[in-house]
Structure 1
Amino acid sequence: MASLNVFRKPLYLHSTQPMTGFTRNGYCEVPPSDSGNHSVAAVLSDEFLDYSASQGNDLRSIGLKGGCKWCVCATRWKEALVASKGGKGVGEEVVPKVYLNMTNEKALEKISLEDLKRFAVDKEV
């Protein structure tokens, strides 16, 4: 069965430059072996990269930089969202923008569609 996006439609390709996805096929698929739920089709910001590094996952160490498209763990994306609301000097710019049509429906296990839509750069197609 083909992977579905958050609208329960076929999942769109997210990025091949850099090649992303848990299986490195360009899609934010979540196979059973992906315990991290790399389902969120994000555009990385420098603020998110700093935040992720501060949480122990330095994505710059694998060559990523601000502006790269990457399949982000749903939990890390949600942590950034919660941090942005926590009043600890972390603003909303830490939360990566998302492509809804490229975000796997498995993201909805951790994140509400409403929260994803707040940071969306696309609409349902």
Structure 2
Amino acid sequence: MTADRNVYGTELEPCSTDPTTGFLRDGCCRRVESDRGRHEICAVMTEEFLRFSEARGNDLVTPKPEFEFPGLDPGDRWCLCLARWLEAEEADRAPPVVLEATHEAVLRDVDPDLLREHEYDRTERGGASE
């Protein structure tokens, strides 16, 4: 089996195991043929994005144990649906992206320069919960 690759063409890094994310709930934003939502983009949640997503009918804050979904807080990393991230980007609400943990398949639909504009800056850790 070929290793999953990130947008840099290197081995895909985990997005998050706390909370555990990914379509397969293995911590990685893998390309999975049966995943119609394409949970391939690793993003760091922001209050602004979480409110945006809820307003669009996708509440990412409320836990849903029946779907192994813990509910998200600002600062959590999560594998987002590509279409939702693009919608948020168009509305100037896109959360930062962890490029090392974002699957290379997104490059078919997103310009690399756009991803770099939204690259998560690991030195800016602060935020709502710290």
Task: Give the structure-2-normalised TM-score.
Answer: 0.83
Whether 1:107 and 2:106 are equivalent positions in the alignment is yes
The DSSP-based 3-state class of the residue aligned with 1:75 is: helix
The DSSP-based 3-state class of the residue aligned with 2:87 is: helix
Q: Would you tell me which structure has more helix in proportion to its own residues?
A: 1
Query: After the TM superposition, which residues 8-19 of structure 1 pair with which residues of structure 2 at under 5 Å, given as runs?
Result: 8-19=9-20
Aligned-partner Cα distance in 2 for 1:39–1:122: 19
The answer as to whether partners of 1:41 and 1:99 remain within 8 angstroms in 2 is yes
The answer as to whether partners of 2:15 and 2:28 remain within 8 angstroms in 1 is yes
Tell me which residue corresponds to 1:71: 79
The answer as to whether partners of 2:44 and 2:120 remain within 8 angstroms in 1 is no
Aligned-partner Cα distance in 2 for 1:122–1:67: 12
Cα deviation, residue 36, structure 1: 0.6
Whether 1:81 and 2:94 are equivalent positions in the alignment is no
The answer as to whether partners of 1:28 and 1:102 remain within 8 angstroms in 2 is yes
The DSSP-based 3-state class of the residue aligned with 1:53 is: helix
Task: Give the structure-1-normalised TM-score.
Answer: 0.86
Cα deviation, residue 109, structure 1: 2.5
Residue identity opposite 2:38 in structure 1: N
Tell me which residue corresponds to 2:127: none
Cα deviation, residue 60, structure 1: 0.7
Instruction: Name the % identity.
Output: 40
Tell me which residue corresponds to 2:120: 121
Whether 1:22 and 2:23 are equivalent positions in the alignment is yes
Tell me which residue corresponds to 1:87: none
The DSSP-based 3-state class of the residue aligned with 2:79 is: strand
Unaligned runs of 5+ in 2: 64-70, 123-130
